[in-house]
Amino acid sequence: MIYYCFIGVFIGTLVGVLPGIGATVSIAILTPITLGLGPTAAIIMLAGIYYGAMYGGSTTAILVNIPGEAASVATALDGYQMARQGQAGPALGISAISSFLAGTLSLVLLMTLAVPLASYALRFGPPEYFSLMVLGLTIVVSLVGKSMVKGLLAGIFGMILATIGMEPLTGQSRFTFNSVDLMAGIDFVAVVVGLFAIPEVLENMEGSVLEVYKARLKNLFPSCEDLRRTGSPMIRSAFIGFFIGVLPGSSGAVAAFMAYNVEKNISKHPERFGAGAIEGVAASEGANNAAVSGAMVPLLSLGIPVSPPMAVLIGAFMIHGLRPGPMLFNNNPEFVWALIASMYVGNVILLILNLPLVGLWAQLIRVPYPYLAPGIMVLCFLGAYGIRNSFFDVAVAFAMGIVGYVMRKLDYPAAPVVLALILSPMLEDALRQSLTISKGSINIFITRPISLTLLILAAISVFLSIYSRRKGSKATAAFVEEDNT
């Protein structure tokens, strides 16, 4: 069993490194191949791919600023800055340790809370999702960078991009100009690659390309100081990631951004976030791994797949003759517990597999940038093509690369675009569904207790972000004088 778990985690880490070819596709491709194995071995291997891929995505995010999937965007914000400062080792190390710790902690939550939490997930109807998405969008405020106006404009740009394609309710096309490709909408991987990785390469080539990364790798592993600083963020991120992961329709990305936002808001030095704060990496990585365990709650207790990789996994269950549903715990307890046990083992394997690799990956940035840059570009476009096998997405990545470069020159932040692009389709769905249910009355958002609570949290989040921004800008003034990072 451990052998299959190892194979799964190993494959997952490999495909996670490639943007665009994520967990969903690899599980789907490998499912028919596992027909020869027993159901338990097969599912353990496929689940291994899932969390391996969740981890693998952070490697490219940290080293070369290519977040392979939405969940690693928040990791890239600080991870890549750390890599440029010669801190690639600690960044990768912390991301492995945080994934392990938060992953394990969230499994304990899964074992103890799965049954009561299943009904909590069901209480989330459209109005609750709407308020959750509003809360998610308030994170834009803490991602805006130097200018609030520019950051908000970037967020709106993301929302506008999200409206392209088929409208969710009746299926009529919006802004598609009769192009079949545009009907599918703008895929966010193409946008992420375009806005993050390509402008980075272009900008690096303007100056002396040999000094993109500080040549000397300071240290390979996180120091005691790093561990001390990231201890509580890891634990907090486990809880945030787990509870967001439980909700059907949300995603690891939402969890990662929320955990990142919380850390930034409670930090004494919020200005360090975005400039290489190790807590940011720990929070984002921990949360997206914990979200995987969270997503197992509705899958195992109700048979509801929360995310696309989970949907593929449920298909694999069925092909192997297991019927995921409310009765799975009763009918196949040995299977359920073997799966949960394998997730513990999988997390340990991830750690064992990746800590030694940290040294190897970190060496990658010693490759002279003139050789590295074309490789990054190839990886970007390959990833864009891999999303749904279409050259249209490659063209989108290319166009977004140019847009991203111009935005960077004019000091517009890229993260709000991506966040808004991920959240607004869900926001729109939930808003229209809620208003259908309430026959047009917006009171539905404040008369339902969970929804109201989330809206209040959203208000607090905006307030805290603005407050920590004020605090941050005062601190920066003092900070800049002593240290130029």
Partner 1 sequence: MRIHVCLFSRLAYLAIFLGGLSGFWAPVAECVAAADYPTKPVQIVVAFAPGGSSDQVSRLLATYLSKKWGQPVNVVNKPGGGGVVGTAAVAQASPDGYMVNNGQVNTLAFAPAAQKNNPYNWDSFTYLARIGVTPSVLTVNANSPYKTVKELVEAVKKDPAKFKTGVSGLAGTGAFGIAQLLQSAGVDPAKVDMVSFNGGVLVITNLAGGHVDFVAQQLPEVLEMVRAGRLRALMHTNAVRLKELPDVPTSKEAGFPAYSVMAASGYVGPPNLPKEVVSKWETSIANALKDVEFAASLKKVGLIADYQNARDYRAWTEEQYKSAQHLAVSLGLKK
Residues that bind partner 1 (CB under 8 A): 24-25, 27-28, 31-32, 35, 121-126, 165-166, 168-173, 178, 180-181, 183-185, 248-249, 298, 302-305, 308, 311-315, 318-321, 323-327, 388-390, 429, 432-433, 436-437, 439
Contact of 237 with 245, CB cutoff 8 Å: no
Q: Which is nearer to partner 1, 15 or 217 (CB)?
A: 15
Compute the least distance from the CB of residue 303 to partner 1, in Å.
Answer: 5
Q: Which is nearer to partner 1, 386 or 416 (CB)?
A: 386
Compute the least distance from the CB of residue 154 to partner 1, in Å.
Answer: 25
Which tokens sit at 260? 């990142």
Q: Which stretches does DSSP call E strand in 261-343?
A: none
Q: Which is nearer to partner 1, 31 or 289 (CB)?
A: 31
Compute the least distance from the CB of residue 186 to partner 1, in Å.
Answer: 10
Compute the least distance from the CB of residue 119 to partner 1, in Å.
Answer: 9
Which tokens sit at 2? 């451990």
DSSP SS3 for 166: strand
Integer Cα distance of 458 and 283 in angstroms: 19
Integer Cα distance of 268 and 281 in angstroms: 17
Integer Cα distance of 347 and 366 in angstroms: 29
Phi, psi of 123 (to 5 degrees): -70, -10
C-alpha distances in angstroms, 396 versus 55, 70, 168, 381, 426? 26, 17, 22, 10, 22
Q: Which is nearer to partner 1, 365 or 400 (CB)?
A: 400
DSSP-H helix ranges across 65-175: 73-84, 88-122, 126-137, 140-143, 148-163
Q: Which is nearer to partner 1, 126 or 155 (CB)?
A: 126
Integer Cα distance of 159 and 339 in angstroms: 39
Quote the distance between the C-alpha of residue 389 and its chain's center.
22
Compute the least distance from the CB of residue 232 to partner 1, in Å.
Answer: 34
Q: Which is nearer to partner 1, 122 or 459 (CB)?
A: 122
Compute the least distance from the CB of residue 43 to partner 1, in Å.
Answer: 14
Compute the least distance from the CB of residue 173 to partner 1, in Å.
Answer: 6
Q: Which is nearer to partner 1, 232 or 390 (CB)?
A: 390
